[in-house]
Structures are given as structure tokens and as C-alpha cells.
Structure 1
Amino acid sequence: MLAEVRRRGVVVVLITNSPAEGFAPWLQMLGLRNSFDAVINDARKPFGMPDALQRARSAGQTSIDAEHVLSVGDIWGNDLAHVSIDGGTTILLDRFGTDVGTPDYRVSAWEKAAPIIRRWAD
């Protein structure tokens, strides 16, 4: 799915708190090494999310406006709150039905997020 939306011109960025050291082999093991236009490690989410989002929005050929950002994550405060505040679209993977946050979409599994991502990419 990531390759599909990238072919449509969507810039796909992974923002993670994981340290950069040793992260590339992990992506390789998962078969995701070439799935992202950029990987931002050591993001310090939630406090570092505004800076990480700015870097992500500049990852493509041109800078992307905040309202054209889609964020998918499983922790409202870390992954989605800043995007929502900036006017972007959010999908919360809420596996445990926590009802935390106010995402645009709340799904219980990745499989339910995929069609939303595809529609958004169109």
C-alpha cells in the first residue's frame, strides 16, 4: 500500500522515537527499507513532533502545507494531536477502544485504515 500511494505522488515519511542507530536493519527485516521517502528517527514525540512534522513536510520535491498531511498512529498525543491542531487528517489505530483524542478516523486495525489512506491519497 505504501508503494501504491507513493506512485500517486504522496510523500511517505516515518516519524519514530526510535534511535537511528540500528533502525535500518529493522526496516530491512520487515521488508520496508525502501518504503519511505524519509525516516525521521529520535523524534522525541510528543514534544519534538512539531519539528519532526516540519522536517517531514519538506521531505518531498516541494514543501507540503499542513492541511495536506495525513498522520496514522496508535498514540493520540504522540502521533496525531499536533497534526490535528495544524489542520491535517488523522487516523488513530485504537486497538483497545480507548476513545482517547479526536481523530478524523478511529479504527481498530491497520486493515481498516488502508482503505481510508487510499481514499485520502486520491
Structure 2
Amino acid sequence: MKATIWHNPACGTSRKTLAILQETPGVDVTIVEYLKNPYARAKLVQLFRDAGVTAREALRLRGTDAAEQGLPDASEDAILDAMAANPAYVNRPFVETDKGVRFCRPQDVVREIL
């Protein structure tokens, strides 16, 4: 099974999720360090739709200036535009497999799509 994780190595939850993927037999993991390789806006739309979350629900406030930028009260389109311009605004990790997409907070949620 192929799995793609949008990963931030500085994030404990992201590291734990990646470890689950790497320890699961038969899983071929692709790691996208999204801070180095930012999301395309269309990919964000697809990931959020498939994970069943809104851009607002995936907005990272801690450690960013998202609140100061007014993003918690912004429209979904404005949040998506900001996330595409600054990937640090996207909370993590997201994982995609043939079985679906999950916003893996907590990390054990990833098991639902393995």
C-alpha cells in the first residue's frame, strides 16, 4: 500500500505518525516535507475534502501569526489562499492512502486508512 504523509520533522505528532507508517508492514511511504515543498491550493482543497475537515479546522494557530492575520475569522477561500502562500498555517500531519485521507491528530487516526 502506498501512503503519503505531509510531514514536519519538528512536530512530535507528525514524527509519531510517520513511525506508525514506517513500522506497518507493506506500507510504501512517501514523505512530503511541506514547509520545503509547499502545498498547491488544489491539493489542500482535495485533502481537506477527503479528510472531512474544513480549512478553518486545519488552520494552525499555535506557533504562527494566523490569529494576528485574522485567519480564524476569515472565509474558507481566504484561509486556503493563506495556507497556499504560507504552509506553516496548515496543521499536521495529513496522510493519504488508497483508503482515504486523515488529519492524524492524534497519530493513531492513521490506522483507519491502513
- Structure 1 length-normalised TM: 0.27
Higher relative contact order (CA 8 A, sep 6+): 2
